[in-house]
Structure 1
Amino acid sequence: MKHNQIQKEAKKWVEEGIISSEQYTAILSRYPKHDQRFLLMAFGGLFVGLGFLTFIASNWSDLTNAIKMVIILVAMIGFYGVGERIYRKHSQGIGATFLVIGVLTFGAGIILTGQMYHYMAYSATAFFIWSLAAIAIFILSQEAIMLVLAFGIITIGQIYGGFTYQDFHIGLGLLFLIGLGYFTYIHQREWISTLYAIGFVLQSLVLVLTSDLSYYWLFAFLLLLYSLSEIVPKDFPVQAFKRLAVAVAFLIGIIQVFTLQSGWVMQDIELEISFLLLLIVLAGWVVYRNITTHSLSGLVDLALFVPVFLLPDFKSAFVLVLLFIFSLGRLLLGYKDGDAEMINIGTIAFLVSTLVAYFQVAWDFLDKSVFFFIGGVLLFVLGYLLERRRRAFSRAEERGDRL
């Protein structure tokens, strides 16, 4: 909570006799008032740095290579030096801003040096070197913004390399998996876990798109991400791993509903034994963990990872069945355990699954105006019924009952 909000509430508690004046002072001391000048100074430093870089870029072609190198080195060392001094002796926030500009200048220097001397790049190695600098500064400063910058450089570099060179950079992949994975484990923050989960999915997507792996390998990678949440200690904030793995698997399931019925999609797909073995091992681990912890949510979620492409016929229909199994399973478990989040996820998933099924069945048979009219009415009715059920559950929960 913010300092002003705490101060306002605590005054009421003193007036009402809930706490004493000494307790009021002790509470406020736990929430120090932030100096808003930090934001002004931070943005000021950022704009000065960007203005300098923009000025140099606009006159870049008129400079000799020697002058260009001097400018790059002076700018980089200057931002690092000023940032380190301010960070250590004055303000950590302002110092971190200059350190960020220093890292950005370092990356720009790598790219500009390559252009100056006409180096030909065939991979995202420049981003790999750049990300090492960001990680090094993070290790020294332990500033969150530097970790976010490292996540961004590694992820953007991998995506850039995938689209530009059709190549998955092993160095960036390992640096993300091991290096950033280590920091995620050490710091145990929900927002870091979320960043790692997003980056993991994007790294997996680039790997599949740039290699000879078939699309179904995404399910193995997503299940691996899901399984990681079953390995770490219970107090580790890895719900983002499960949420993102389930959300992406659900989205791929929707895509499969409309694509698996087309013969051309399955023409070049061949089952790889390594994929099947990995999927079985990961699924077995999830089943084992859920049985030992007396939880059924993981068993329901596994419906999204079934390799439907192995079926001879009716693949799209079976995917729809699995989507409904997941949706209804989440709803029923949510009502059983009194978990509002699970109920909301199940409700949304059920409505989306119903809409997908309606599109799949009725699009080719109904007039388009009738199609959208009936679809809208159907969603209104389902939404009304599910909302009524949710409110009844909330009222029962307030009374201490269980539906």
Structure 2
Amino acid sequence: MRLIRLLKYDLAREAEDWVDDGVISEAQAELICARYQVDYRSARQRSLGYNVLVGLAYLFIALALITLIGANWEEIPRALRMGGLIALTLVTQWVALRAYCTGDRRAGEGLFLLGNFFFGAAIILIAQIYHLGEHMPDGIFWWALGCLPFALITRSPWLAIQANVLALLWFFLQVSMGYYPALFPLFIAQSLYVLLRGRASTILMLLLVVSIGFWIEFSLSEFWRGEQLGAGLEFYSENLAVAVSLFILLYTFSHWLALRASPVAKDYAAVISVWCLRFALASLLVFSFEQPWEALIEADWQHRLSMWLVVAVMATVTLLLALPARRLISSGLLYVFFIGALITVSSSDNQDLAMYLQVATNFALIGCGSWLIYRGIHDGISHYFFLGVMSILITALLRYIDLIGDYLGASLIFILFAGLLLGAAKYWKYHQGREGAQ
């Protein structure tokens, strides 16, 4: 999937400049934008900067009022304090609802955001008045829950993001104190609903994916911890296996999503694919050293059965998605490498195996870099090309640092990398020549 989908609104604005310069006609600009499912005329009026400035202005209004109230807090009678906070919140939300219902939806959404900030401030300050601070995360939970209805009614991505961010804050505070956030899926469901029924939002989509990942991992961690004493977030070696399996599933899901007719689905697919690729390269760079493999071999794999069950379920879903997406071979190879490494580290205590796994990871990293360079040249995707080159260069640098003192080994690795890059350059020249001949 081409990464130009992520820059399609910039393309629309560039097309406007081309029309103004007489390079293309307005009809041609509309055809170019239509190819990427962008309305040329509406994109010209699209102003992210305006929306950001208005949102920040509302935020600073909220901060100014909260600061003003806080500065004179002790001088205000208790009844007036509480009544004023409630009145400020209700009036702001009423004005927002009125603006939204009369057709000015963007202004309504901005005022809803402001009203939600006032609602949070009211919770905090009223709790301070009546000394209600026994379990601090409860206040954030009620704040997030209060934002929820407005996100569902308006189906606004920004209101859903506000609720989801607060829910994540509550999630981490809860788990840090040893409590399970049982109602967190409620906020996941609202984000999913807004994504499906509201405007497109890449930020909300990524936030939803992150929220699902954290919830799955912590739920498994709580299940594996069982009746053991101790509070706070605790991850096991099995969590890493589940995380890798999740990213393979996400990668395959992105290709399945790219087959949907909806242009929004294609945009989401491109974003998910890019971030999965970055995660894969970062993970391979970490495991290109011997120490992480040694730590995994030394780890206590006490929950193998349930871990394998979760991995098997995810692998099954991955392969079912890979079949229509025509990614059966690539997804299968990823799982072969992953499951082979997982079996090795979870069932053996031989530390010598760490070196072989390190070597295999370095070869996988070189293979990924070479594949990205090939894709970048063959399909004309500059992001893939430079990502592949950077992965090879970083690998070379890391191996040089790792092999200082072993000059022969470092020289052989550098020769190998030089050969790969020269081969890529030759293929680029051949590909350019063939395109020129056509």
Under TM normalisation by the shorter chain, which class is it? 0.7 to 0.9
Letter in 2 for 1:138: A
State the shift of 1:76 in Å: 1.0
Could you say which residue in structure 1 is the equivalent of 2:153?
140
TM-score (norm 2): 0.70
Cα RMSD (Å): 4.3
Q: 1:106 to 1:60 in 2, by over 3 A?
A: same
1:216 aligns to what SS in structure 2?
Answer: helix
Residue deviations 1:249-275, cap 9 Å, x none?
654555554544667983544243100
Mapped to 1, the partners of 2:331 and 2:386 lie a distance apart of 17
Could you say which residue in structure 1 is the equivalent of 2:242?
220
State the shift of 1:166 in Å: 3.6
Alignment of 1:304-319 (within 5 A): 306-307=341-342, 308-310=344-346, 311-313=348-350, 314-319=352-357
1:297 to 323, 330, 334: 330
Residue deviations 1:218-260, cap 9 Å, x none?
3314423542554564323334445445544654555554544
Residue deviations 1:17-50, cap 9 Å, x none?
85689x99xx974445468877766554443332
Mapped to 2, the partners of 1:116 and 1:67 lie a distance apart of 11
Mapped to 2, the partners of 1:355 and 1:63 lie a distance apart of 63
Range with greater deviation from structure 2 (205-214 or 304-313): 205-214
> Aligned residues: percent identity?
14
Could you say which residue in structure 2 is the equivalent of 1:274?
306
1:320 to 337, 358, 364: 358
Letter in 2 for 1:224: L
Bigger relative contact order (CA 8 A; separation at least 6): 2
**Structure 1 residue 99 and structure 2 residue 112: aligned?**
yes
Q: 1:382 to 1:5 in 2, by over 3 A?
A: same
State the shift of 1:104 in Å: 1.6
Q: 1:119 to 1:39 in 2, by over 3 A?
A: closer
Q: 1:19 to 1:275 in 2, by over 3 A?
A: closer
Residue deviations 1:154-183, cap 9 Å, x none?
2222223333x14341212x1344332344
Q: 1:122 to 1:218 in 2, by over 3 A?
A: farther
**Structure 1 residue 175 and structure 2 residue 211: aligned?**
no
Range with greater deviation from structure 2 (44-53 or 187-196): 187-196
Work out whether residues 375 and 384 of structure 2, in 8 Å CA contact, stay in contact via their aligned partners in 1: no
- Report how many residues are paired: 387
Q: 1:98 to 1:387 in 2, by over 3 A?
A: farther
Q: 1:103 to 1:336 in 2, by over 3 A?
A: closer
Work out whether residues 220 and 279 of structure 1, in 8 Å CA contact, stay in contact via their aligned partners in 2: yes
Range with greater deviation from structure 2 (139-148 or 235-244): 235-244
TM-score (norm 1): 0.75
1:328 aligns to what SS in structure 2?
Answer: helix
Mapped to 1, the partners of 2:396 and 2:361 lie a distance apart of 9
Could you say which residue in structure 1 is the equivalent of 2:226?
none
Q: 1:46 to 1:32 in 2, by over 3 A?
A: same
Range with greater deviation from structure 2 (206-215 or 105-114): 206-215
Range with greater deviation from structure 2 (64-73 or 351-360): 351-360
**Structure 1 residue 129 and structure 2 residue 142: aligned?**
yes
Structure 2, gaps ≥5 residues long: 1-8, 32-38, 223-231
Letter in 1 for 2:331: G
Letter in 2 for 1:312: D
Work out whether residues 164 and 188 of structure 2, in 8 Å CA contact, stay in contact via their aligned partners in 1: no
Q: 1:202 to 1:37 in 2, by over 3 A?
A: closer
